Amino acid sequence: MKSLIIGLGNIGSEYDNTRHNIGFSIADALVSKHQGSFATERYADYAALSVKGKSLHVIKPNTYMNLSGKAVRYWMQELKLEVSQLFILVDDLAIDFGKIRIRANGSDAGHNGLKSINELLQTQNYPRLRFGIGNNFAKGKQVEYVLGKWNNEEQLALPKLITHSVEAIEAFAQIGLERTMNFYNIK
């Protein structure tokens, strides 16, 4: 079995360590844990991993968030995968900081990366890990919050939370979506 793990984020140093780039951070941690490395390929930075006999293909689209679907569609076709073999890593304002929710499908909920993926794949029925970034921002400051850097308290908590997310990805590859949801959505 093979899976395509897609960490969503924006390219460029100005977006490093921002809430919106948590998908990139989780993808980086997964690849690092398994001694892999990214190479710049068409539409994405790409790494191939073998995790307990499972083939994981990991991408970080270099198309910017709003065009993430272009990279996802290309790599799905390149690797000959079905949507059920995708696992999108995405930030979510509607979830408290540090909590994750794994879903088999769902709307884009206003997230431009998911909106692009939904449009180009013509479906919203693909697995995703939604990483809570919270919504601790003043009215009218959502963009600044999402594109902002983690505060000190969040920064201290992130390594453990990212490790937890990496374990959820490994579980998805090993035991499938349903069992992964049953285990990780209750914590």
Domain containing residue 68: CATH number: 3.40.50.1470
Sheet holding 44-51, edge to edge: 39-41, 44-51, 54-61, 2-7, 86-92, 128-132, 100-103
pLDDT, tens only, 149-177: 999 999 999 999 999 999 999 999 999 99
**CA distances, 89 to each of 8, 64, 138, 141 (Å):** 6, 15, 26, 23
Average pLDDT over residues 114-123: 96
Average pLDDT over residues 106-128: 95
Average pLDDT over residues 71-75: 98
Catalytic amino acids?
A: 20
Pairing between strand 54-61 and 39-41? unpaired
Return mean pLDDT, the chain.
95
Q: What are phi and psi of 160, to 5 degrees?
A: -65, -40
Cα separation, 128 vs 58, in Å, equals 14
Indicate the number of domains in the chain: 1
Residue span of the structural domain in which 29 resides: 2-184
Q: What percent of the chain is modeled with pLDDT above 70?
A: 99
Q: What is the pTM of this model?
A: 0.96
- Residue 15 pLDDT > 80: yes
